[in-house]
Amino acid sequence: MLSQSEAARYLLDRGLLTADSVVDGDVSVRDASSRNRNFLVECSQGPSYLMKQGLGPEAVATVAHEAGVYEYLSRTEGIRQYIPGYLGYDSEREVLVLELVRPGTNLRTYHQSRGRFTLGLAESLGRALAALHRTTAFTQGATPAPERAPFVLSLHKPDSRIFRDLSTTSVELIKIIQHAPSLGRRLDDLRSEWIPSALIHQDFKWDNVIVLKTSRARRSTCLKLIDWEGAVDGDPCWDVGSALSSFLSTWLFSIPVTGESPPEDFPGLAAYPLEAMQPAILRCWRSYITELRADPATVRRRLLRSVEYAGARLVQTAFEVSQVSMNLNGAIVLHLQLAQNVLERSAEAAVQLLGLPLYESA
């Protein structure tokens, strides 16, 4: 494993840093490790870098997989503009080196700091996902592959091994799903119909979208999609559903659930009303289908499937929150309730919740 003091020397040996920049103190190295050993190597007068090493055999394999995804996407016209620069993977030292995108902030923080949802960024987001799915699409062997579906689609039927890593709250959440037969059936349906047809990010969320300023005078921005560890061949609608779900989760998390207000008053209490997000949701969806140049039947089919996956992604978010919560709080319960409604009535959810038209061609 590289130490923090070795990071600059490593990049210097590979020609990514100059000796003058190191001697002049232009280089700083920060440790940002979490699941992996991460170093942020920042240079005030030149490019900056993210260095990534896996901690343990499983993490090493994951970083190697991510490196392969970055290498592939960096050679793919149309999508590489939406990812950080790929500088290489050292298979001997097991080090992935990427461009450190800066100055930037993740999309969640960007929205919260402004209190509004920018149409331009929503459009860029739709185009980025469409570019990924269009440029990596394949048709060979387009048959159901339920064993490759996201884990949340079988969360209500957990393998015994999963209980080693579950919190008590997560166990309670799984019990709730198991006692909601219609919710379990819809997850089963989505899993049985999972058909890989393109490379997908699979872990799309606002935390994995970095917003960069490209022009201070015009306040122009662009975005980069990061953290490709979970990228696989899968159903493109999963990424789109995850994007839609990010809007819904932001709405739900902004509702103060204190027990003092009845549920019918919840929408009016939201700090981020859903109505304020709908123009951005519509712009994101329209830019996505425009880039795909799909026929009306395909557009409607993708919309309904994406909305269904948005419901499943709400379940996954509830599970992720339950892993770090002491109890089943209001946000978790709201996510499960909305997930069931979306999965049972996807067409209504598309129109009434998300403000998306069912019949519209690219």
Contact 321, 334 (CB under 8 A): no
| Mean pLDDT of the residues in the chain | 91
Asked whether the predicted pLDDT for residue 352 surpasses 60, the reply is yes
pLDDT value at residue 162: 74
Read off the DSSP letter of residue 216.
T
Q: In this predicted model, what pLDDT tens digit does every residue of 153-207 receive, in sequence order? A: 999 998 877 777 889 999 999 999 999 989 999 999 999 999 999 999 999 999 9
pLDDT value at residue 13: 92
pLDDT value at residue 216: 58
CATH number of the structural domain 104-353: 3.90.1200.10
pTM for the whole structure: 0.93
Cα(240)–Cα(238) distance, integer angstroms: 5
Cα angle, residue 51 at apex, residues 122 and 53 outer, rounded to 5° = 110
Q: Which two tokens stand for residue 100?
A: 């450190």
Contact 210, 226 (CB under 8 A): yes
pLDDT value at residue 113: 87
- At 355, is the pLDDT very low, low, confident or very high (cuts 50, 70, 90)? very high
Contact 262, 103 (CB under 8 A): no
pLDDT value at residue 331: 92
Cα(123)–Cα(101) distance, integer angstroms: 20
pLDDT value at residue 211: 94
Q: Which two tokens stand for residue 155?
A: 């969360």
Give the residue extent of every domain in the chain: 4-99, 104-353
pLDDT value at residue 101: 86
pLDDT value at residue 342: 97
Q: Go through 247-284 and write b for each residue having 16 or more CB atoms within 10 A of its CB, e for each that does not.
A: bbbbbbbebebeeeeeeeebeeebebebeebbebbbbb
pLDDT value at residue 260: 65
What Å distances lie between residue 34 and 55, 91, 316, CA to CA?
9, 21, 21
Poorest-pLDDT segment among 230-234, 253-257, 336-340: 253-257
- More confident of the two residues 163 and 16: 16
Chain mean position to CA 122: 14
* Phi and psi, residue 298, nearest 5°: -70, -40
- At 66, is the pLDDT very low, low, confident or very high (cuts 50, 70, 90)? very high
CATH topology for 4-99 is: Phosphorylase Kinase; domain 1 (3.30.200)
Q: For 288-300, what is the mean pLDDT?
A: 89
- At 25, is the pLDDT very low, low, confident or very high (cuts 50, 70, 90)? confident
pLDDT value at residue 219: 60
Asked whether the predicted pLDDT for residue 360 surpasses 70, the reply is no
Q: Which two tokens stand for residue 79?
A: 């999508």
Asked whether the predicted pLDDT for residue 361 surpasses 80, the reply is no
Cα(323)–Cα(72) distance, integer angstroms: 33
Q: What percent of the chain has pLDDT over 70?
A: 96
pLDDT value at residue 218: 52
Asked whether the predicted pLDDT for residue 268 surpasses 60, the reply is yes
Q: In this predicted model, what pLDDT tens digit does every residue of 102-148 receive, in sequence order? A: 778 999 999 988 888 989 999 999 999 999 999 999 876 678 999 99
Q: For 1-21, what is the mean pLDDT?
A: 90
